[in-house]
Amino acid sequence: MVTLSGNAARFLFSPANWVLRKGLWGLMLILSVAIYGSHAPLLNLCKVDGKIPFSSSSVVVLIELTKLVFSFLFLLIWDRKLLGGTVSWYHVAPFALSALLYAANNNLVVHMQLFMDPSTYQVLSNLKIVSTALLYSLFLRQRLCMRLSAVYTEAILKAQALPLSLQNLFLYFFGVLLNVTGHFWSSTEGGFLEGFSSWVLVIVVSQALNGLIMSVVMKHSSNITRLFVISCSILVNALLSVTLFDLQLTLFFFVAVASIGLAVHLYYGVT
């Protein structure tokens, strides 16, 4: 089992901080549910005349850059001694593929808002639960041959005996590099920040925070927990859609919410 090192390990795993750890873990998951559920509505609030006015690649670059900066700060706070050491490319290179897959996914999320409302997107987004469930055990127990980004990333994070802050530094370095390259490759005449608004800033900060939270989940829990977070976010998405876009909830919505609640109870109650 992979553990944290140094000051972070002494803080998080000492018996005196057990209640604090549980509370912090619960707070992170609740916050992640809120962020996942609000992402599509926030993107729709950014629309001007039914169109996304900004470049998706520029938003993703800023998100990855924010995560990179915070990862470096965490490394300075908790694992400063690693800054003077050397790390093999054997540990660094696998994160390039994760960064590439996440870059493609994060840009597609923005473009999908052009063709569907937030609730439809949220429902279709949950189809990833099926693919993850089918590939999860195979991917983590056999050779790394699949290409499902979150499962692949979890495998890397758990396979390496390195602090999470350092692993995040590798991942987000490649994320910034790939997305900057993609931005300039596909950029138009508009500027990097063209079409930005205060809602875009909220998206950048919230998605960066959620990415850091999910790295903790995949390092110390699993993608199953991540999928439950995504499933529960349907409720947040629906409530925001009702408030902001006059969505009409049906009986099927409440059945879905009840099913998700039952699944969470059975999984965590049994395991």
Any long-range contacts for 71-75 (C-beta under 8 Å, 24+ apart)?
A: 71/165, 71/168, 71/169, 71/172, 71/212, 72/169, 74/165, 74/168, 75/163, 75/165, 75/166, 75/169
Domain assignment of residue 12, yes or no: no
Domain assignment of residue 15, yes or no: no
The answer, yes or no, to whether residue 11 has pLDDT greater than 60, is: no
Looking at per-residue confidence, does 112 or 59 come out higher? Answer: 59
pLDDT, tens digit, 9 for 90 and up, residues 113-166: 777 777 677 766 666 655 555 555 555 454 444 447 677 888 889 888 888 999
Domain count, the chain: 1
Q: Which domain holds residue 182?
A: 31-270
Domain assignment of residue 8, yes or no: no
pLDDT, tens digit, 9 for 90 and up, residues 15-70: 556 677 788 888 999 999 999 999 989 998 998 888 888 888 899 999 999 999 99
pLDDT grade, residue 4 (50/70/90)? very low
Q: What is the pLDDT of residue 213?
A: 95
Q: What percent of the chain has pLDDT over 90?
A: 30
